[in-house]
Structure 1
Amino acid sequence: MAEYKPGEMDISVQEKTFDGFISMVTKGAILCILVLIFMALVNA
């Protein structure tokens, strides 16, 4: 059985995936807010 030592695993791919996910969620939330503001202004 292989010896596992915490902190030795390369997680650079997981970090890039997480950063991309957070970026897309943030952009999506901003887009939704802008769409809602636009809809409120048009219907006023």
Structure 2
Amino acid sequence: MAEHKHGEMNIDVQEKTFEGFITASARVAMVSIAALIFMALVNS
């Protein structure tokens, strides 16, 4: 079995995936907050 050497794995794809996930999560949160504020303003 091959020896494991810490820090030698290429993680570019994982970093891009994580960045995309964080960006999408932030956008969904912003849209949700905007929708809640809109509903509160319209419903008054």
Query: Which TM-score applies when normalising by structure 2?
Result: 0.95
CA deviation profile, 1:1-44 (whole Å, cap 9, x unmatched): 11210000000000000000000000000000000000000011
Aligned length: 44
The CA distance in 1 between the partners of 2:41 and 2:13, in whole Å, is 42
User: Stretches of 4+ moved more than 2 A in 1?
Assistant: none
Identity of paired residues, percent? Answer: 61
Query: Which TM-score applies when normalising by structure 1?
Result: 0.95
Q: Which runs of 5+ in 2 are unaligned?
A: none
Q: Which runs of 5+ in 1 are unaligned?
A: none
Q: What is the root-mean-square deviation of aligned Cα atoms in Å?
A: 0.5
